[in-house]
Amino acid sequence: MSARKGRKHAEEEEVHVDERWMASYMDMVTVLMCMFIVLFAMSTVDQDKYEQLRNSLATGFGAVEVGAVDTAEGTVVPADKVDAEGESFSTAELASLEVDNLEALKQAVSAGLQASGLEASVSFTMDTRGLTIRLVGSETFFASNRAELSDAARSVLDSIAAPLAASGREVSVEGHADVRNSAPPYPSNWELSSARATQVLRDLVERGGIPADHIQAVGFGSSRPLAPGSSPDELALNRRVDIVVLTTQSEEVSALIPGVVAGEGEQPVEAAPEEHAPEEHAADEKDEKHAAAETGSHGSTGTSKASSGH
């Protein structure tokens, strides 16, 4: 009886031997399912997140200006503001570079004016806003109580426009008037100063080639005089049109520009302490030893004489 039970148990085990492959098969199916799930996840891309990642990487490396990037987590340093060793410039160095760039633009404008014999019609100032090209003497550029440009004004603007257009900088054309009341057709100095600034802007854009999206016109009326008095010279100084080439630097850097222009940005170099040659040190030590020896001998002599006296 026991033999039959043993034989029956052995037959049952032999029946299921060929089903062991199912375990390996199930493992393989599970691995394949995981692989297809991963492939499906990789094939589905969130376009908005992808664009944000692309813009962030492009702007972070300073390659291009694309889209709006949130830089609140850090500071993005443009590629042209990094030196050869990969270190960013300090604010003082950036201010010095900006002054050099504005000075080069000033020299280019001056060269064009000198070639035309018009250098006396323009003055230059450099401050926290950038480079101001001031059209001196409104009578040279405009008739009394008029906004139309004279022939001399067009010649001056022709010499100014080419360097400004090549620089690619933002430009603000600002009209000013003196304290005297304007006459018709302008109700006030606001309209007169704005009209003159607009005429200068149109000439720089239409004939000078400055991009329209890089320039603006502003009329200040008589609210920003250069001279407080009412003499003819002071009134003429206040009747002006300023062409301001705006700086591209931050407020922190632009605040240092007047100091750099005045020469205050350069730090004095401290003189290095003088070094004595080894021979001089040796000679000094020898003299000190010799003096000490003489002092000792004189002291011994005095002591012996005092002893003999007693």
> Could you give the 3-state DSSP secondary structure of residue 195?
helix
* DSSP per-residue letters across 32-49: HHHHHHHHHHHH---HHH
The pLDDT tens digits for 9-40 are 555 555 555 677 888 889 899 999 998 888 88
Question: Could you tell me the CATH superfamily of domain 91-261?
Answer: OmpA-like domain (3.30.1330.60)
**Average pLDDT score over the chain:** 76
- pLDDT greater than 90 at residue 124: yes
- Kindly indicate the confidence band of residue 284, based on its pLDDT and cuts at 50, 70 and 90: low
Give the model's pLDDT for residue 169: 94
**How confident is the model at residue 49, as a pLDDT?**
73
Q: What are phi and psi of 219, to 5 degrees?
A: -115, 120
Which pLDDT score, from 0 to 100, does residue 306 have? 34
Chain-centre distance for alpha carbon 243: 21
Torsion 32-35-36-37 (CA) sign: positive
Q: Is the pLDDT of residue 239 over 60?
A: yes
What residue spans in the chain does CATH classification 3.30.1330.60 cover?
A: 91-261
Lowest mean pLDDT among 62-76, 157-171, 259-273: 62-76
pTM: 0.58
Distance of alpha carbon 59 from alpha carbon 66, whole angstroms? 7
DSSP 263: T
